[in-house]
Chain A
Amino acid sequence: ELKVEQNPLFLSMQEGKNYTIYCNYSTTSDRLYWYRQDPGKSLESLFVLLSNGAVKQEGRLMASLDTKARLSTLHITAAVHDLSATYFCAPPVSSGSARQLTFGSGTQLTVLP
């Protein structure tokens, strides 16, 4: 059974600080998705990491993927309040007739002024 573990589950940080969210998964997957979700809202696609060693950056967020270690990270640089949200990682894993996304429990990020 595939397990996707994110840590921390809850993160409270000061504006201007840096932090990293970790996503470990138990089954081989050569790519990984990161999503953001605001309370009561849908999921917003942040990154799609397509290969081992992939690194993508958008604004204050940078994601990386190490498929050999089955680890992805989401690094936050100089956090601002607008980044407060829940972040999910999801590796696609073969199941049935197509690959399927398996989501972690999410990391609830609160950025304090």
Chain B
Amino acid sequence: NAGVTQTPKFQVLKTGQSMTLQCAQDMNHEYMSWYRQDPGMGLRLIHYSVGAGITDQGEVPNGYNVSRSTTEDFPLRLLSAAPSQTSVYFCASSYGIGPTGNTIYFGEGSWLTVV
């Protein structure tokens, strides 16, 4: 059971480049989400999904796109990378429609640097 898998683990981008962070889970979870964590801070929600074909914005969605074509995958796209998007990105998933009491499983994180 792999849990929540994120790729890549490390990435350096130039300003203006685009890229996709991949997230896959093998637990048949309905709820998936993306967070970013900046130094010395807690996690902030970027986008989330409560099922295939359904996505919604979180607290800090600007500059990011998501889609959910399958239950297993929830990629995060950076359209035109900016230095302010330098951060650690975490994908998370759970049963149900979100953190209503179910355990939330986090991936290992993706360290992104935009230069």
Interface residues in chain A, defined as those with a beta carbon under 8 Å from any beta carbon in chain B: 4, 31, 33, 41-43, 45, 48, 50, 88, 90, 92, 95-106
Nearest CB on A from B37, distance (A): 9
Interface of B is mostly: loop
B106 in contact with A43 (CB, 8 Å):
yes
Within 8 Å CB of A43, what residues of B?
43, 90, 106
Q: Does B68 contact A (CB under 8 A)?
A: no
B99 in contact with A99 (CB, 8 Å):
yes
Given contacts A48-B102, A98-B50, A98-B98, 13 further A-B contacts (CB under 8 A): A42-B106, A43-B106, A45-B103, A45-B105, A90-B99, A92-B98, A95-B58, A99-B100, A100-B59, A101-B43, A101-B99, A103-B42, A104-B42
Interface size class for chain B?
20 to 34
A101/B45 contact (C-beta < 8 A), A42-B90, A42-B108, A92-B98 known: yes
Interface of A is mostly: strand
**Docked pose: A33 CA to B101 CA in angstroms:** 8
The residue of chain B having its C-beta at the shortest distance from the C-beta of A99 within the complex is: B98
Nearest CB on B from A34, distance (A): 11
